Structure 1
Amino acid sequence: MSELGARASGQGRIFQTSGDQYIEEHHHHYDAGAGGPLFGRHVVPPAGAGPTAPDSVRMPLVGRPPGILRNREELREVLGAAVAGPGRAVHVVHGMGGCGKTALAYWLFNEAVREHGRVGFWVNASERMSLRAGMLAVAGDRGAAAGELAAAAAGQRAAADLVWHYLDHSADPWLLVLDNADDPTVLEGGAWLRSSDRGTVLVTTRHATSPLWRVPGVHRHALGVLPLEDAAQVLCDLAPDAGDLESARKVAERLGRLPLALTLAGSHLAHQLLESWSMDEYDRKLGEESTAIVDRGASGRGAGQSRQLVGRTWQLSLDALAEQGLPEATTLLRLLSFLAADPVPLSMLVPVARGEATLDGLEPVLRPEQLEPALKGLIDHSLAELVQVDGVRCMRAHGVLLDSVAGGVPEDRRASVADAAASLLEAALPEKGSDSPETRSRLALLAPHATRLLAVAADERTATLGVRVLRQVYESGDYAAALALAPTVVGAVRGILSAEHRLVLDAQHLQGTALFRMGRFAEAEALHREVLERRDALLGADDVDTLHSCAALSQSLDLLDRDEEAESWGRRALDGYRRMLGEDSTEALFIWCGLIELLPQLGREREFSEEGPALIEACERALGADHPTTVLARHDYAGGLFEFGRYEEAESLARPVLADRIRLQGPDHPLTLSATSLTARIAHGLGRIDEAIEIMKGLSERRARVLGHEHPFAAHDRAWVATWQAEARG
C-alpha cells in the first residue's frame, strides 16, 4: 500500500502511483443479504432498474384542487414575477399548518406552466425518502440515464449533485415546488435546495426560522390567516346557500380565518343531507363546549392554535356523519390520525372491507360494509382526499387535522387505535427480502407511517414494526433511504426499550450497514464495534447476530486498510457460521468471498490458491452457477490471480464473469463496470496494450455517464488510458 492508505469503496476502484507510471487497483465487492443485514441473499438492483420514483412529478400532488384563491394578491404578484423572470430565485413560503401554502403553490404551478411555458415539477418534501425519490424523478425527466439514476440510488453517486446537474442544463425553464418541507433537515444542509439560472424554486414549510432560509438568494414570505372579508367569502364560495356575508363573517372570525378550517366548515355546510344548518346555526354549534378538543402541545410556531381551530370543525362534521348513520367515519379518521400526513394506500384498507382483518377494540366498530361509505363521507366533508402516487390510489388528510384528531382520541381508546393501525401497516408491508421496484415503491409509501406510529404510540409492537420497515428498506437496495430512516428508528426504539435490548441492537446494526454502504467506513466500524461488544456480552459469542457483527466489522476494517484485524474478525465469523448454520450456508460462503479477497492484499498466495477454487466449488454446489455469491466468488478469485501476476489464469475466469455480470446485472451496473476494468487490466498484463486501451476508453465513458465525469473512479479510468497510451508510444 502507498502512504495514501487508500481503499476502494463498495465496488469501487482505488489507484496508487509510484512516480507517474505504475498504478495498482484494488477491488472490494460487498453486498447485502437477508440472512443478516450484510449476508445471505445478494441484493443488487435489477438490470436497468433505476430508483423508485413517483409516476409523475409533472402534476401537483393535490387530490382536490383548490377553488378560488382569495387574497394573497401581493405575494401572488411577487411569485408570478419570479416565474416570468430569468430564474435563479428561491422563494420560501412559511406559515402555520392549514394557512393555504399548498394552495398558493398550486396556483403558481399552473401559472408557470400555462402562462409562462415553464416545465413544472412538484416534489413532496415531507420525508427524506419522498424528497429523494421525487428529485431523482426530476433528474430522469431532464435526461438522466437509468444507469446514472441507479448509481445515485445505490449511493455510488451523489444524488443531489446529479439532480442539480440536469436541472442546471435543462433545455426548458422550470419551476420546482418542494411542498411540505416542514422539517428542513430533510434538505440535508441545503444539498437538495439550490438555485439555478434555468428555473425558480418554491418551498412551502411551517418552519419559519431555518438557517437554510437565511442564505443569499433565498426570499422568505410569511403567510398568515386571511383578512376577514376574504375569509367570509371563502365560506360563501363553498356554501352559497347557507347564509349571507354577515353570517359568514361571524363563522370566519370564530374559526380564526384559517383557510383549512374554513374549507372544512364550508364543505360541511355544502354537503348536509338530513339537516340544513345555516351559518348562524353553525356558529352557535362552534360555540358549544362539546366541540372543544384536547390540545396536547404542538411542534412549530402556531401549530397549537391551528389544531384547536381545525378541531372545532372536524368534530361537527363527524357528528353530522354519525347522525347520517356513519359513526364509522370517526373510527376511520382516528385510524388515519395515527398514521402520517403522507398518502395512505387504499389497499391497506382492503382487508377490512373484505372482512379479513379484525380490528378489535375500536369504537364504533369499523364494519366492512360501512367502510366505503365512511371513506366517501370523509372525502365529501374535505376531511380526506384521494391522490395517486406511483399509480397507487391513496387517501390523504392534512397534517394539522391528523394532529388534532390524534390529540382528541380518549386515553382509554388510544391503545386500540394504535394496535389497529399497526395491524393494517404490518399486513401491507411487502414480502420479506424482496428487492423489486414494486417493493421499493411500496416501502416508500409505508415507511413514513411506521415512524408516525413510533411517535404517537410508543410500545414494543411499534418498535418491532419500525425496525422491520428499516430492515426492508435496506434489503430493497435503497441504502441512502435506509441511512436517512435509521436515526429516527434507532432513537425511537431506544426510547421505548432499554439500550441493551436485542431490537435496539438490530436497529443499530442496520444503521451501521447503511453507513458502510454509503462509504462512511470509519463511522460504520465504530458503530459495529460497539454493537458487537454489547451482543457478545448479551447474546454470547456463538449467537448468529453476534457473528453478523463480526462479519460487518471485518468488512469495515478491510476498507480502512487494517487487513490483519479484518481477517481475524472475518475468520471468527466464518468459523461461527459454519458451526451454527452449516458449511454451505449462504452467510458462510459470502463472508468467505471477502476473506479470499483479503489474501492477495496480505501476500498469502499459497492459501489463496487453495481456498479460491474450494470456495467456487462450494458456491456452485450449494447455490448454483448464477447465484450472485457464486459470481462474486469467481470475480474475487480472478481479481486475486491478477494481483499475483497470473494473467492467463485470471483471463480464463474474468471474461466469463464479465459476461455473467452483463447478463445478470446489466452493462452499467457497478459490478459490471468493475469486471470490465479487471478484463482491461488483464489484457494490459498480457501485453495486449491496444486492446486494453480500447476497453478502458469504453469503460471510462460509461463510468462517467453513470457516476459523473467528476467522479474519482471516472478520473482514474482516464488516468489508466493516459498511462497506457504513453506506454504504447514509448
Structure 2
Amino acid sequence: MSVPRPMEGRASGSARIYQAGGDQYIEEHVHHHAPGSAPLFGHPWTGPAEPREAAPDSVRMPLVGRAPRVLRDRTDLMERLRAAVAGPGSDIQVLHGMGGCGKTAVAQALFTEAVRDHGRVGLWVNASERVSLRAGMLAVAGDRGATAGELAAAAGGRRAAADLVWHYLDQSAQPWLLVLDNADDPAVLEEGSWLRPSPSGTVLVTTRHATSSLWRAPATSSHRLGVLPLEDATLVLRDLAPDAGTRESARKVARRLGCLPLALTLAGAHLAHQLLESWSMDEYDRKLTEESTALVDRGASATGGGQSRHLVGRTWQLSLDGLAERGLPEATALLRLLSCWAADPVPLSLLMPAAQGGVGLEHLDPPLAAPRVEPALRALLDHSLIEMVETDGHRCVKAHGVLLDSVAGSVPDAERALLAAAAGGLLRAALPPEGAASPRARSQVRLLAPHATGLLHRSHRHDLVTAESVRLAVRLARLVYEAGDWTAALALASTAAKTAAEHLGAEHPVTIEARSGQGTVLFRLGRYAEAADLLRPVQQEALRTLGPHDERTLDAAYELQRVLHRLGDLAHARTLLDTVLDGRRQALGEDHVATLKTRCELLELRLAQDEFDGYTAAAGELAGECERRLGPEHLVTVWARDALARGLLRSGRGAEAEELFRRVLAGQRAGYGDDHPLVYGVLIQLSRAQYAQGKRERAAESAREVAEGRAVILGEDHPETVAARAWYTEVLATPPAPDDLVG
C-alpha cells in the first residue's frame, strides 16, 4: 500500500526549483547540483540540500510546500472558515472550485492558523486517489492512538479502515482540523464512508467537484472558490516577478492567464528565474498570444477541470519549449512518458531501463535516447514540472495530476501507441520476481499498482488497450494480492477485468484470466457468493473457448472449486478438483508446484467430505514429496504439513498434531508475516489440538487470539471471524473430554 506523499524540493547555490503543491501554487526553493554531484540513478542523492521532513511518516504537516507570502483576495472566505474551526466541531467545510484556483493554498493558511492560534491538532491527507486517501487516513488513526496491529490489518484491507479511523478521531482528547486535500473524485470519499462529521473536530475538504450529493449532507457547508479578481491576480505576478515589467504589463499577463492562481504562479516563477532568457511581462504575453490561450478546452464546461488543464498546459509548454531551445527536447518526451501513468510517485527504479536503452523511446519525436534520460529528469526537476519525493524508502519523482492530464491530452496521436508500449514495458521490467516476499518487494509492488491502473485508463481513453497491457495489470494485481493488500488487489483486478471485457471481448483468454483473478480476491475477502457468480460463467467460457486442458481453464476451475467448497457444494467442488489435478499432472508434471498445490487442496476437501480412509498416509507422503521437490521452507510444503497435522488430529494423535501445527505456524509466519489470515487458520487448528488433549486453558488462549486477530484483520462479519468466535465460545463453555476429538 502507498503512504502519504509529500512534495519535496532541494536546492543550493543559485539555481531554482518551482514547486506546485496540489492545484494551487508554486513554491520557490533553491536548487543546484555542483559538478560531480550524484546522479539520480545508481546511488543516493548526495548533493547539498536543505533539511526536509520525513513525511510519509507525518500527517501533522501539509503535504505541499510553504504557503504563499501573501494570500490574495480570500479575506471573507477565511473569516468564515476561521469561525468554523474555532467552533465546537461537528462541521464539514467543503471548498470547491476549478483546478488550480488556490483551494489548497487557502486550506494551508487555515491549517497554520488553526494550529498556531486555536490550539488545534492539524491533520493533512491527500484525498486525490483511493490509495493515498486510505494510507493518509490510516496515518491519522495512528496519530490519534490506533495500535500498530490495527493499522496493519486495515492497511492490508482486512478490516473496515474508515471505521477504525473515525473511532480514533471521535475519541480524540484534543480538538483537531482535518484537511482532505484534492478530493476531486467524491466517489473516493463516498466508497467506504471516509467523510463524516465529528464532535471532536472540523473537516475541510478541497475539491474540483461542485455538485456532489456529499456536499449537501447535514453539517456540511460548501464554499465556492473562483479565480482571483484581476487586480489581485496582477499582484500575484508582481509578488513573484517584481522586476519583470510594469503593473500594466502584469495585468495583461494575468488577464491572458484567466487569473488562475496556479497558472499565475507558474508564469511568475518562470519570469523571475530565467537563466538564459530574460523575457519581460510583455514578451511573455506575446508568447502566450502566439501559442493561443483559449480558456476552455472543447467539450469542457466553463467551471470544469478543462480550463485548468488548458491554462496550465500553455504555461508548461512554454517551459518545455525553452528547454528544447537549450538543447533538451527530451524533457518533453519524458514528461509524455510520465503522463501514461498515474499522478502517484514514480520510483526511479521504474525509469532505470529507460536510462539503459532498449525500450523504444529513441523512436519518439522528439527521441529520448538512453544517455539523455538523466539530463531530461534534471531539467524537469529544475523547472518544477516534476519533484523528488521519497515513499516507503524508494526515491521517486512526482508530477501534478492536472499537469499530467494536460500533457497526455497534447500527445500526438502517432506517438500514443509507442508511449503506451514503452510505459508498459517499463512497468513489466520493474515487477519483482515471482514469490519475492521481502518488505521492499512488497512496497515496490504497492508503488507500481496505481501506474498499472493509470496506464489502463489512458489506454482505454485512446483505444490502445492490448492483451499485453491487461496481462500486465493482472500479474500486478496478483502480486498485490500476495503482498496482503487484498482491497487494492481487488480494485486493480476489477479494472483489468472490465477493461479486457470492453476492448478484447468476454471470450479472449486474457479476459478469462483477468476475471478469474478477480474471483480469487473476492474469495479471500469472504465474498463467496459474489465469487461464485463471477467464476461460474468464467469457468464455462474457458471450457468452451480454450478447451478442457488449457492452463487458464484449469486455473478457473481451481478457483471455482475453492468457492464451492466454502459454500458447502462439496460434490461439485470435488468433481472440479479431480479434473484440475488430472489436467495439471498431464500438462505440468507430477512435481510441478501447481500440481502439488492441487494435491494439498484435495486433502483438505477429503477431510471436509469425511473421507478419512488412508488420509494420514497420503498426507505424510505428500509432505515428504513437497519437501524433496520444493524445499522444507516452501509455503506449499508448509501447507502439506498442515494437511498431515489435521489428519493426525482426526486420528486421535493430539500431541503429535500439536507439535506439527507449531511447526506449520512458524512456517506460515515466516512466509506471510504474523498477522496474515492464513496464519490464524493454522492457529485455530492448534487450539483444536490443545482442546483434544484436555489443555482447556491453552486452547482457550489460542482460540481467543484467533477470534480477536481475525476480527481485526478480516472484520467482524467475515465468515472466518464468525467461525472463530463460535469456536472460542465452545471452548469456554464445554469442558473437554479425553476422547473429544474435534476436526
Indicate yes or no: 2:661 matched with 1:654: yes
1:407 Cα deviation after fit: 1.9
What residue identity is the alignment partner of 1:281?
E
1:52-131 mapped onto 2 (5 Å cutoff)? 54-62=56-64, 66-131=68-133
The residue aligned with 1:319 is 321
**How many angstroms does 1:548 deviate by?**
0.8
Is it true that 1:501 corresponds to 2:508 in the alignment? yes
Question: Which deviates more, 565-574 or 101-110?
Answer: 101-110
Partner of 1:182: 184
Deviations 1:206-244 (A, max 9, x none): 222222222222322222111112111111111111123
Q: CA deviation at 1:561?
A: 1.3
C-alpha distance 317-181 of structure 1, shift in aligned 2 (>3 A) = same
In structure 1, how many angstroms separate the alpha carbons of the residues matched to 2:347 and 2:266?
23
1:628 correspondence with 2:628: no
Aligned residue in 1 for 2:154: 152
Match of residue 585 from structure 1: 592
Partner of 2:560: 553
CA 685–391 in structure 1, closer or farther in 2 if over 3 Å, else same: closer
Amino acid of the structure 2 residue aligned with 1:439: A
| Amino acid across the alignment from 1:459 | V
Q: How does 1:465-614 map to 2 (within 5 A)?
A: 465-614=472-621
The amino acid that maps onto 1:453 is: L
Residue 691 (structure 2) pairs with residue 681 (structure 1): no
Partner of 1:719: 729
* Structure 1 stretch displaced more, 424-433 or 96-105: 424-433
| C-alpha spacing 1:299/1:651, structure 2 compared with 1 (3 Å) | farther
Compared CA separation, residues 715 and 168, structure 1 to 2 (3 A): farther
**Partner of residue 390 from structure 1, selected from 389, 392, 395:** 392
Secondary structure in 2 aligned to 1:606? coil
Distance in 2 separating the partners of 1:324 and 1:195? 53
Distance in structure 2 (CA, Å) of the matches to 1:463 and 1:674? 33
Q: How far apart are the structure 1 equivalents of 2:630 and 2:543? A: 30
Instruction: Summarize the alignment of residues 279-358 of structure 1 with structure 2, pairs less than 5 Å apart.
Output: 279-288=281-290, 295=297, 297-298=299-300, 301-353=303-355
Aligned to 2:465: 459
Match of 1:224 among 218, 223, 226: 226
| Superposition deviation, residue 575 in structure 1 | 1.8
Distance in 2 of aligned mates of 1:395 and 1:299: 31
Q: Is the 8 A contact 1:190 1:212 kept in 2?
A: no
Stretch moving more, 279-288 or 664-673: 664-673
8 Å CA contact 2:262, 2:312 repeated in 1: yes
Give 3-state SS (helix, strand or coil) of 1:288's partner: helix
Q: Which stretch has the larger CA shift, 368-377 or 179-188?
A: 368-377
For 2:621 and 2:641, locate their aligned partners in 1 and report how far apart those are by CA, in whole Å: 11
Other-structure match for 1:18: none
2:236 maps to amino acid: V
Q: Which has the higher contact order (CA 8 A, sep 6+)?
A: 1
2: CA distance, partners of 1:517 / 1:98? 41
* 8 Å Cα contact 1:54/1:133 also seen in 2: no
2:208 maps to 206
AA aligned to 1:225 is V
Distance verdict in 2 for CA 1:698–1:511, change over 3 Å: closer
The answer to whether 1:246 aligns with 2:248 is yes
Deviation at 1:553, TM superposition (A): 0.6
TM-score of the superposed pair, with normalisation by structure 1: 0.84
Which digits, 9 at most, give the CA deviation of each residue in 1:86-111, with x for residues without a partner?
Answer: 43322222221111222233333333
Contact kept? 2:692, 2:737, Cα under 8 Å: no
1:125: how far off?
Answer: 2.4
2:166 maps to amino acid: W
SS, match of residue 177 in structure 1: strand
Contact 2:347-2:395 at 8 Å conserved across structures: yes
CA distance in 1, matches of 2:712, 2:531: 29
Question: 2:333·2:364 contact (CA, 8 Å) conserved in 1?
Answer: yes
CA distance in 2, matches of 1:454, 1:510: 17
Matches within 5 A, 1:348-427: 348-353=350-355, 359-368=361-370, 370-427=372-429
Does 2:666 correspond to 1:639?
A: no
Distance change (3 Å), C-alpha of 1:468 and 1:704: closer
- Cα distance change on mapping 1:657 and 1:173 into 2, 3 Å: same
More moved, 493-502 vs 651-660: 651-660
Question: 1:358: Cα distance to partner?
Answer: 5.2
Tell me how far 1:552 sits from its aligned partner. Answer: 0.4
Q: After the TM superposition, which residues 159-178 of structure 1 pair with which residues of structure 2 at under 5 Å, given as runs?
A: 159-178=161-180
Partner of 2:196: 194
Match of 2:136 in 1: 134
AA aligned opposite 1:719:
T
Deviations 1:697-718 (A, max 9, x none): 5655656666678964674365
Report if the CA contact (8 A) 1:473-1:479 is conserved. Answer: yes
CA 1:119/1:636 → structure 2, altered by over 3 Å: closer, same or farther? farther
Q: CA deviation at 1:502?
A: 1.4
Q: Structure 2 CA distance, aligned partners of 1:298 and 1:424?
A: 33
In the aligned structure 1, how far is the partner of 2:253 from the partner of 2:715?
58
Q: Could you tell me how far 1:533 is from its partner in structure 2?
A: 1.2
TM-score (norm 2): 0.82
Matched letter for residue 590 of structure 2: E
Q: Distance in 1 between matches of 2:611 and 2:506?
A: 41
Structure 1 position 204, deviation (Å): 2.1
- Mapped to 1, the partners of 2:399 and 2:673 lie a distance apart of 41
Partner Cα separation in structure 1 for residue 539 and residue 206 of structure 2: 43
Contact 2:267 2:315 in 1 (8 A): yes
Q: Is the CA contact 1:92–1:213 (under 8 Å) kept in the aligned structure 2?
A: yes
Call closer, same or farther: CA 1:615–1:79 in 2, change over 3 Å. Answer: farther
Residues in 1 aligned to 2:668 and 2:342: alpha-carbon distance in whole angstroms: 40
Aligned residue among 433, 444, 447 for 1:445: 447
Instruction: State the one-letter code of the partner of 2:597.
Output: F
Deviations 1:39-62 (A, max 9, x none): xxxxxxxxxxxxxx9444344332
> Does structure 1 retain, via aligned residues, the 8 Å contact 2:184–2:208?
yes
Contact map agreement 1:153 1:479 (CA 8 A) in 2:
no
Supply the distance in 2 between the matched residues of 1:608 and 1:188 (Cα, whole angstroms). Answer: 50
Report if aligned partners of 2:520, 2:559 keep a CA contact under 8 Å in 1. Answer: yes
Residue of structure 1 in register with 2:264 after alignment: 262
**1:171 Cα deviation after fit:** 4.4
SS of the equivalent of 2:203 reads strand
Structure 1 residue 63: Cα displacement: 5.5
CA positional deviation for 1:508: 1.1
Q: Distance in 1 between matches of 2:473 and 2:295?
A: 29
User: How far apart, in 2, do the equivalents of 1:422 and 1:435 lie?
Assistant: 23
Output the CA distance in 2 between the equivalents of 1:673 and 1:399. 41
Q: Any unmatched runs of 5+ in structure 2?
A: 1-54, 739-743
Higher mean Cα deviation, 497-506 or 182-191?
182-191
Shift in Å at residue 509 of structure 1? Answer: 1.2
Q: Secondary structure at the match of 2:222?
A: strand
Name structure 1 gaps, 5 residues minimum. 1-52
One-letter code of the match for 1:430?
P
Q: Which moved more, 1:345-354 or 1:472-481?
A: 345-354
Amino acid at match of 2:514: A
Q: Which amino acid aligns with 1:161?
A: D
Q: 1:218 to 1:489 in 2, by over 3 A?
A: farther
